[in-house]
Amino acid sequence: MISGGDTSFRKLNTINRRMFIISAAKVVVFTGIVARLFSLQINENKKYLTLSDKNRLREWKLPPERGEFLDFFGNTIAGNLKVYQLHVVPEQVEDFKYLMIRLKDILEIDDKQFSKIIKKKEKQKPWETLVVSENLSWDQFSKVNFYLHELGGAKPVLSVARSYPHKENFTHVLGYVAQASESDLANSEIIRKNHVPGLRVGKIGLEKAFENDLIGSNGIQRYEVNAYGKRINQIDYLEGKKGKNLRLTIDTEVQKLANELLVGKSGSISVMDIYTGDVIAMHSSPSFDPNLFLYGISHKDWQDIRENPLKPLINKTVAGLYSPGSTIKPLVALSALENDVISPKFIVRCTGKMEMYGQTYHCWKKKGHGFMNLRDAIKQSCDTYFYEAARKLGVDRLNKTGLKFGLGEKVFGKTFIDEKKGLVPSTQWKKDNLGFGWVLGETLITGIGQGYIQTTPLQLCLMTAQLANGGYKIYPRIRVEKNQDTAEQIKAKMIKTAIEKKENENSTISPIRRAQDFLNIGQKEHTVLYRNSENIKFVLEAMWGSTNEVRGTSFGSRIDDKKYQFAGKTGTSQVKKISERHRELELKAKDVPYEERDHALYIAFGPYKNPRYALSIIVEHGGSGSTTAAPMAKKLFKLIIDRHEEREKIIKQNLTIS
């Protein structure tokens, strides 16, 4: 028995009272726990749900598939090749160092490359794929597969990479791709958005210009991963979009011929449709194989390209600046005619040289051409005649005509980042840029395309095209897009503008017409570039003479068949001022050091009866235009005109499809 009822009662009293206090405390704590549960699970549920998803879901971006380049006939000229690559996800590898050393051994990676890979790994997040090798040879691939059971974490995968099947043929048109650099990422949002380690982006040429169309978009694989980063299962797979395939206006056959013609030479060939402005071929020589750049070019290859004296890295078609030489003469003649400075009947006597302002100006023909009218002067490329014509014309009027026909201005604008503007001098230009007043003697040499005047081969081609189409502005294009005007539509527009021009000459411009002009801003108008179409016709006819008549400078390269007959103008531009002594010696081209030889130029259009194509050829230090450049035009026109029908077929097909 519990001794003493009183103590027993007090004991019970104490325990009950204290139990009550504890129970009250328990209720408080219990409520606290429930409240906490409520706040976590109900109030903050969304926040923690997101956190839990962030824990368990991880996205892997897949490299986007790059759009392809097709030529006009739909042949792939820049495609995607399937390649074997070796990927490692560092996070999933037990012993990364060991794996890498084994791989180094198996793949025979050299030390330099190896340290590069290690560096790359340190920059990435541990779950991001590390590309150990971008292009395994079949040998390496089978070796890796053989040892795969020992290489936990290494994954040989099939991937796509750029390939340029025509190698050096399209290098300067397409440019090339290489791994995206810091500056690529900084400058382009779309690259940043789609970037995955090892992504290739365009570095130059059309690959760069059309990056936004070509790049496509990432595929996304969403995996559930466990706490150790191991993929448990795939939750989601969003297929990426392949970049747009871009069709170009270029004809691979013509492009290839251009390449062949210029093999071993430094120069450029451009061919253009005189109505649509379609660039049929555009080649700069020497070229190089863009495939070399895909996986990082080797030091030796890079040295070879960079140190080649013929400068393969320069896209001479748009970035090479040359004195146009005599190829400018048709334009000078046109300008003089348009400004009524001379008439076709204007005669100059060429004695081989001409004294003016205390200087002697020589004609290329030492003995002189004798009495020359304008047609003969163009045909025989008489320098003396053009000295005189230029003197009468003045450089500023020539400047205006030059600008009108597309000289001194980028042909493609922003498409080729390395494109140059060239220069058509004027008195104002000299004052502003050189600070000196214009000297009249400079007008004379500008008249034969020497001196300050500088053009790119593509500008010369455009100029020729705009002469050949009868003097209408055209807009060169290299990419085939939907709803582009066909040659017929453009021709019709040109005729319409010509008629309107005539009407306008007879009456003052009506307010309605002005309003129409206003509305048409932004539309590509094929403005009339001449004052009198007879002048254009005259110049074209003279160019025909130059090629197809005896004593014409390119008579040797003529084609008699009317189907292929073309008209052109040669040019030989001096690189160095010819000294008196040299003139006496009458040195042959091969006796002069390479760097001092003249550039050979040729511009032409054809077929003469019904012109459609224009071209320009430049061979650096190639000697004279008539011996080096003009024969190339002959071969080119044969092919171009043979391919014309096929081209038309394609256009018709596309029309019926759309």
Partner 1 sequence: MFQRRTITNQLTFFQKLRSFDFILMGCIFIIGIISCYSMYSTDGGELLYHSKSHIVRFFVFFVMMIVLSFFNVKFWHSTGYLFYIIVLGFLIWASFYGITASGSQRWINLYFINLQPSELMKIAIIVCFAKYYHRTQVSDVNSFKNLLLPIAILIIPIVLVISQPDLGTSILIALSGLVVLWLAGLNIKYFIYSSLIFIISMPFVIAFLEPYQKLRILTFFNPDKDPLGAGYQIIQSKIAIGSGGLTGKGFLRGTQSYLDFLPEKHTDFIFTLFSEEHGFTGSLLLLILYAIMIFRILRIGALTRSYFAKLYCFSFASAIFIYIAVNMSMVLGLLPIVGSPLPIMSYGGSSMLATMIGFSIVMSAKIYNKQVIS
Torsional class of 471: left (φ above 0), alpha (ψ -120 to 50), beta (otherwise): left
Is the CB of 4 or the CB of 152 nearer to partner 1? 4
User: Of 445, 441, 427, 389, which is closest to residue 573 (Cα–Cα)?
Assistant: 445
Could you say whether residue 235 binds partner 1 (CB under 8 A)? no
> Which one of the spans 23-31, 351-359, 363-371, 426-434 is the region binding partner 1 (CB under 8 A)?
23-31
In the structure encoding, which two tokens stand for residue 323, read together?
């004195």
Could you say whether residue 30 binds partner 1 (CB under 8 A)? yes
Could you say whether residue 18 binds partner 1 (CB under 8 A)? yes
Q: Is 177:66 a contact under the CB 8 Å cutoff? A: yes
Is the CB of 25 or the CB of 492 nearer to partner 1? 25
Could you say whether residue 234 binds partner 1 (CB under 8 A)? no
Please report how many Cα atoms fall inside a 13 Å half-sphere around the Cα of residue 515, on the Cβ side.
Answer: 3
> Which one of the spans 24-32, 128-136, 406-414, 593-601 is the region binding partner 1 (CB under 8 A)?
24-32
Could you say whether residue 48 binds partner 1 (CB under 8 A)? yes
Could you say whether residue 357 binds partner 1 (CB under 8 A)? no
> Which one of the spans 39-47, 289-297, 448-456, 495-503 is the region binding partner 1 (CB under 8 A)?
39-47
Is the CB of 148 or the CB of 232 nearer to partner 1? 232
Could you say whether residue 36 binds partner 1 (CB under 8 A)? yes
In the structure encoding, which two tokens stand for residue 406, read together?
């597309």
Could you tell me where the beta strands, DSSP code E, fall in 150-266? 154-163, 177-179, 200-202, 219-225, 231-238, 246-248
Residues 6 or more apart in contact with residue 432 via CB below 8 angstroms: none
> Which one of the spans 40-48, 276-284, 319-327, 363-371 is the region binding partner 1 (CB under 8 A)?
40-48
Could you tell me where the beta strands, DSSP code E, fall in 490-566? none
Is the CB of 9 or the CB of 98 nearer to partner 1? 9
State the angle between helix axes of 111-123 and 96-107 in degrees (0 to 180), rounded to the nearest 10.
140
Residues 6 or more apart in contact with residue 497 via CB below 8 angstroms: 472, 525, 526, 527, 528
Measured CA to CA, the distance from residue 656 to residue 415 in angstroms comes to 30
Is the CB of 4 or the CB of 74 nearer to partner 1? 4
Could you tell me where the beta strands, DSSP code E, fall in 151-255? 154-163, 177-179, 200-202, 219-225, 231-238, 246-248
Shortest reach from residue 91's CB to partner 1, in Å = 13
Prior bond to 286 cis, omega within 30?
yes
Helix (H, G, I), strand (E, B) or coil at 399: helix
Is the CB of 18 or the CB of 562 nearer to partner 1? 18
> Which one of the spans 182-190, 227-235, 536-544, 611-619 is the region binding partner 1 (CB under 8 A)?
227-235
Is the CB of 28 or the CB of 403 nearer to partner 1? 28
> Which one of the spans 31-39, 139-147, 271-279, 450-458 is the region binding partner 1 (CB under 8 A)?
31-39
Could you say whether residue 11 binds partner 1 (CB under 8 A)? yes
Q: Is 175:205 a contact under the CB 8 Å cutoff? A: yes
Q: Which of 190, 220, 225, 650 binds partner 1 (CB under 8 A)?
A: 225
Could you say whether residue 45 binds partner 1 (CB under 8 A)? yes
Which residues of the shown chain bind partner 1 in the complex (CB under 8 A)?
1-4, 7-8, 10-12, 14-16, 18-19, 22-23, 26, 29-30, 32-34, 36-38, 40-42, 44-45, 47-49, 51-52, 55-56, 224-228, 232
